[in-house]
Amino acid sequence: MSFKSDLRWSDVTPKSLYLNRRQIMTGAAALSAASLTAPAWAASEFSTDEAPNTFEEISGYNNYYEFGTSKEDPAANAGSLTTKPWSVVVDGLVDKPGTYDLGDLLSGLTVEERIYRFRCVEAWSMIIPWQGIQLSNLLTKLGPQPGAKFVAFETLVRPEEMIGQQMGILEWPYREGLRMDEAMHPLTLMATGLYDRDLPNQNGAPIRLVTPWKYGFKSIKSIVRISFVADMPPTTWNMMAANEYGFYANVNPEVDHPRWSQASERRIGAGLLAGRQDTLMFNGYADQVASLYSGMDLAANY
């Protein structure tokens, strides 16, 4: 089954919305009220008092191996990626499988505006004002079947436009996955933009996952497949180095990466004199997500 339309999938929000705390809270409260799946605490807990990074910082310093291994490569090389039209395959244990035009896939869903602390495994962080669709609303629209315990994602494979895929850096396509309760958590976002513009190619255009309590490699970019599956899906970095990168990838300052400490981080844009800051458990969202892992050994399930 195939679906096509000219529906625009990304709305814009004035940059000033993200730079004023009162506006952030008022706007988030209104959006939360429009979302039936968001709990009462969602509006006040999704944002942060910290000032967001600039658009230039967010779009100029990225991990995206499809375009190269240095932090500056994605900004330099991602301009070649064609993102319109864009389709997403939905398959597996789901009521509404098919190949969807992105506009149709996201139609009828509320665009959220949220500011998150966002970290990558190298222990650097940014504050990013994402715009997008609450993933739980999208999954509910598609109709996961009772046997679906996980959601798996795949990135586009197009080596003629994604020059990193011409090298044997990773096994393509890039794969990621979430447990169903993680995917349905209201913090989890399918981002389509940031600040007042569509998502830049180097940040994962036209649609990417955002899981703000996990390390950055978990938030897969340029998604072309969403699969509803019964078993834990293979994920790229876990396949490459299981002793270093677990399936869960939760931010945990008490569990070191085998080659470096994860107890502290540096904030991009803070300057050399700012030093490092303590990494927060679950990236500061422990009150919201710790219950997902009740009774789990977080050192073994890293």
Q: Is the pLDDT of residue 204 over 90?
A: yes
Q: Where are the chain's structural domains?
A: 2-293
Least confident of 116-125, 152-161, 246-255: 116-125
Please give the average per-residue pLDDT across 22-34, as a whole number: 32
- For position 45, what pLDDT does the model report? 57
| Selected residue with higher pLDDT from 27 and 134 | 134
Question: Max Cα separation, the chain?
Answer: 56
**Phi, psi of 295, deg, nearest 5:** 85, -5
Write the CATH number of the domain with boundaries 2-293.
3.90.420.10
CB atoms within 10 A of CB 36: 9
Q: Is the pLDDT of residue 29 over 50?
A: no
Encoded tokens for 77: 């090389």
Model confidence over 103-131: pLDDT tens digits? 999 999 999 899 998 887 667 999 999 99
| Selected residue with higher pLDDT from 68 and 39 | 68
Report the C-alpha gap between 267 and 6 in whole angstroms: 39
- For position 118, what pLDDT does the model report? 85
| Selected residue with higher pLDDT from 45 and 56 | 56
| Selected residue with higher pLDDT from 4 and 156 | 156
Beta bridge partners of 176: 153
> pTM surpassing 0.75?
yes
Q: Is the pLDDT of residue 274 over 90?
A: no
Report the C-alpha gap between 91 and 147 in whole angstroms: 13
| DSSP for residue 197 | E
- Surface-to-core class of residue 145, CB atoms within 10 Å of its CB (0-12 exposed, 13-18 middle, 19+ buried): exposed
